Amino acid sequence: MRRLKYALSLALGLFLAAPAVSTPAFADDTPQLLVDKSLGSLRAVLSEKGLEPARGYLKQAKGVLIVPDLVKAGFILGGQAGDGVLLTKAADGSWNGPAFYQVIAGSIGLQAGVESREALFLVMSDSGLQKLMQNEMKLGADASVAIGTVGAGVGASSTGNPEADILVYSKSKGLFGGGSIEGGVVKPKPEMNSAYYGGAVTPDAILMKGTRNAAGAAELRKELAQYD
């Protein structure tokens, strides 16, 4: 029921104000729960048969945004939205973070149903990483995006530029069909960052300066360090 209400809210929000829609997190999504779910999603996507290229790209990545529940809702308008955690790789191969972010993307089309999928947004360029430090980044405009699908590398199976700023991988083949991710928005969630770190803190301080590394995310950072 909670997911259905969320999907209805998402669809209505996209219909009324797609570029600036604000969607609520699920009621039980605390910051630590989101970190724990992100660890499971990272393992699930990287272990999926056919997604071997994602592991190779992660070794080269500057950062990764993990979205455990990217909900796709299709009523009158199709759209995706979900909260996630962003971590960045330091020069020594260790990882900083996490900082909390939200992804919102929409596309017009006759669709039906609700589904939730795990997704990884691999940040491949310094430019893409810097854009994520802003209040809002538009996918496809502020940073180029390519979509990797099950069974092939980005160069062979994606839409867009294989040298993109951000590569998106999901266990669902059809989640980002039709270029619907382009035009979406990625933005920080200050309230979740403040709740997790016990006070106001910017994504730049967490991710670029490395001044905040919460103990609750130690296992997630350790898991990512395996792909250095």
From first to last of its 228 residues, what are the pLDDT tens digits of the chain? Answer: 444 444 434 443 443 333 333 333 333 469 999 999 999 999 999 998 888 889 999 999 999 999 998 876 554 445 668 899 999 999 888 999 999 999 987 554 444 445 667 889 999 999 999 999 998 999 888 998 887 755 444 443 344 455 789 998 987 644 454 445 667 899 999 999 999 999 999 999 999 987 777 899 999 999 999 987
Q: What is the DSSP string of 127-177?
A: HHHHHHTSS-EEBTTTB-EEEE-TTS-HHHH-SS-TT-SEEEEES-TTTTG
C-alpha closest to that of 128 among 207, 41, 199: 207
pLDDT of residue 40: 96
**Edge-first strand listing for the sheet containing 137-138:** 137-138, 185-188, 95-108, 77-89, 63-74, 113-123, 166-170, 145-148
How many residues are present in the chain?
A: 228
pLDDT of residue 163: 79
Question: Position of tokens 């092939």?
Answer: 152
pLDDT of residue 14: 41
Q: CB neighbours of 130 closer than 8 A, spacing ≥ 6?
A: none
pLDDT of residue 201: 94
Domains contained in the chain, number:
1
Question: Position of tokens 């570029």?
Answer: 19
Q: Indicate the pTM of the whole model.
A: 0.79
pLDDT of residue 29: 64
pLDDT of residue 108: 42
DSSP helix/strand/coil, 203: helix
- The domain of 104 spans 2-225
CA torsion, ordered 191, 192, 198, 200, to nearest 10 deg: -40
66-80 as b/e: b if 16+ CB within 10 A? bbbbbbbbbbebbbb
pLDDT of residue 150: 52
